[in-house]
Structure 1
Amino acid sequence: MFWTIIGILLLIWIVGFLLDFAGGLIHILLVVALIVFIYKMIRR
């Protein structure tokens, strides 16, 4: 489930770069996903 969310966010981020669609929101979501990913890696 976690990897699916990361994959979807990355896909939306790439599409956002190509179409310049909701740029700020996508970058914020990507940063949040990265922070959660790092947190989960440290907790393991």
Structure 2
Amino acid sequence: MLYYSIVFLVIALIAAALGFGGIAGTATGIAKLLFLVFLVLFVISLVLGRRPPAT
């Protein structure tokens, strides 16, 4: 998921450099959303992974 957010960020940077404002804004929004989902899943996996094993 982090890979896709980086890909959309690169697309947004290229589109902004070429002057395509609408595409750049959309790609930036998608990149932010994917990065937020990645962070939430990462924190959840850290919390659940540190629990002691059930006996």
TM-score by length of 2: 0.51
Q: Alignment length, in residue pairs?
A: 42
Runs ≥4 residues deviating over 6 A: none
Q: Assess if the C-alpha contact under 8 Å between 2:2 and 2:35 holds in 1.
A: no
Q: 1:25 aligns with which of 17, 23, 31?
A: 23
Who wins on radius of gyration, i.e. which is larger? 2
Please identify which structure carries the higher helix content: 1
Percent identical among aligned pairs is: 19
Task: For structure 2, list consecutive stretches of 5 or more residues without a partner in the other structure.
Answer: 45-55
- Output the aligned Cα RMSD: 1.9
Distance 1:7 1:42, change over 3 A: closer
Gaps of 5+ in 1: none
Identify the structure with bigger relative contact order (alpha carbons < 8 Å, sequence gap 6+): 2
